[in-house]
Amino acid sequence: MEINKTIPQEIIPAKQEVRQYDYGFLQQQKIAVEQDLANIVSRHATELEAAQANVDEVDNLLLEADKLGIQ
């Protein structure tokens, strides 16, 4: 498979790039980019859980402070 791709003029004026891909390479690329995506999703899920835990902790502390009349 051969793909013609025009590189935007902001980068290199009027340059055309020709790339050739074989089917096996594309299959490996698919596996690699799917794994990258899974890693990103997993990392973000972990970060979201940690951020939510921080918000929950502050909310609980504010609730306890309100119960004790602390402002």
DSSP H or E stretch at residue 11: none
Indicate the pTM of the whole model.
0.57
Q: In this predicted structure, what is the pLDDT of residue 42? A: 95
Q: What is the pLDDT along the chain (71 residues), one digit of tens a residue?
A: 666 766 665 655 666 677 888 999 999 999 999 999 999 999 999 999 999 999 999 999 999 999 999 98
Contacts of residue 26, Cβ cutoff 8 Å, sequence gap at least 6:
1
Q: In this predicted structure, what is the pLDDT of residue 17? A: 75
Q: In this predicted structure, what is the pLDDT of residue 26? A: 94
Q: How many CB atoms lie within 10 A of CB 1?
A: 9
